[in-house]
Amino acid sequence: MMHRPPAQLSGAALERAASCLEEAFPDCRQGAFFLQFGPGFEIEGLFSAAPACLPLSALPGMPQQHTPDRLQPRLLWGPCQDIHILVLQGHRHLSEGLGLYPCLLPLAAAWKLGLHRQIFIDSCISLQAELKTGNWTLLTDFLNGYSGSPLDGLAELLPEPYPDLSNVLAQELNSELVNALDTVGISPKLCTYQAQPGFHICTRAEAELARSHGAEILGSDLVMEIITAHAFGCQVAAMALVGAQNTGPAGRRIQRQEILETCRFCSHDFLRGLAIALNNIAGQSSPPLQANLPAANADELLRESITFKSDKKHSLQPLFRP
């Protein structure tokens, strides 16, 4: 029989989940970041020593069954160079039909523990010919294609019941991610992401509709987590790896397994750059990162191919520390 999680987050549920995490990871309140990775990514290389592990199903009210990718998500706690991080490897999906609770509880519990910098990493489908399979993208904006908001019913838990989403993705985090990833040879493209309901690969008409809305990449996750983490008062960033393209009738058939293989293949160098970024953001990296990218509009900053909106520029200022 399928387990049905609670319909909605509550203050009591957050307290129980936070206590469960503290029991498994006694010093987790000292963490610098909460990170969530979608399925397929190999994340062990992000840790500088073997992390402690807790199945996500151990948190109160969480589903026990596997995800549609036949995975059991798990929480990992351990050192990343000079800092400690809490990582969710794999996650529950809204399209599983189990509601928002299992999707939002991990990030909300991390917030409850004081982990107020949160980064979400997943795969996506490219809607632009220039965005190839294996390209990394950095979200600068997004469209919620679902019929509801993850904040419905959460007003009493939020610091501000009417959160401003106009700057939901933190420029400070984005700037450091761009600079750090450049040092390992990765130049992420700045993109607008659209989340659509369902696990299916989008039809050509759905892809065209998303393009007409201004989206360059498409997926079924990320948006609910981004909105909720920001509404809780967290600094938020999100990145998506292009796992396949849907650019027109000539495109090849998209296979889920190929997307997961792309995630595995592209994990190694990304994790090296991500570790640099995390330590620089936390202010504990030594020596400090010397960014070799000038202060500029993002189009210039990343070789003018970073965004495909001719009328939209994103200003990223490299962050230097003494």
Domains and CATH numbers, the chain: 11-298 (3.40.50.1580)
Cα torsion 177, 178, 179, 183 to 10°: value is 100
Write the pLDDT tens digit of every residue in 122-155.
999 999 999 999 999 999 999 999 988 999 999 9
% of the chain at pLDDT higher than 70:
86
Report the chain's mean pLDDT, rounded to a whole number: 88
Cα torsion 217, 35, 281, 81 to 10°: value is -130
Write the pLDDT tens digit of every residue in 208-262.
999 999 999 999 999 999 999 999 999 999 999 999 999 877 667 889 999 999 9
State the pLDDT at residue 130: 95
| Alpha carbon distance 202, 199 (integer Å) | 9
Cα torsion 142, 237, 88, 220 to 10°: value is 10
For residues 88 and 56, the answer to whether their CB atoms sit within 8 Å is yes
Nearest CA to 293 among 272, 318, 315, 257? 318
What residues have CB less than 8 Å from 304, skipping those under 6 apart? none
Side chain identity at 200, as an amino acid letter? H
Side chain identity at 67, as an amino acid letter? T
Residue 195 has which token pair? Answer: 């989340």
If residue 53 lies in a helix (H) or strand (E), which one and from where to where? Answer: strand 52-55
Q: How many helices (H) and strands (E) does the chain have?
A: 8, 11
Residue 74 has which token pair? Answer: 């798990």
% of the chain at pLDDT higher than 90:
75
State the pLDDT at residue 223: 96
If residue 15 lies in a helix (H) or strand (E), which one and from where to where? Answer: helix 11-24
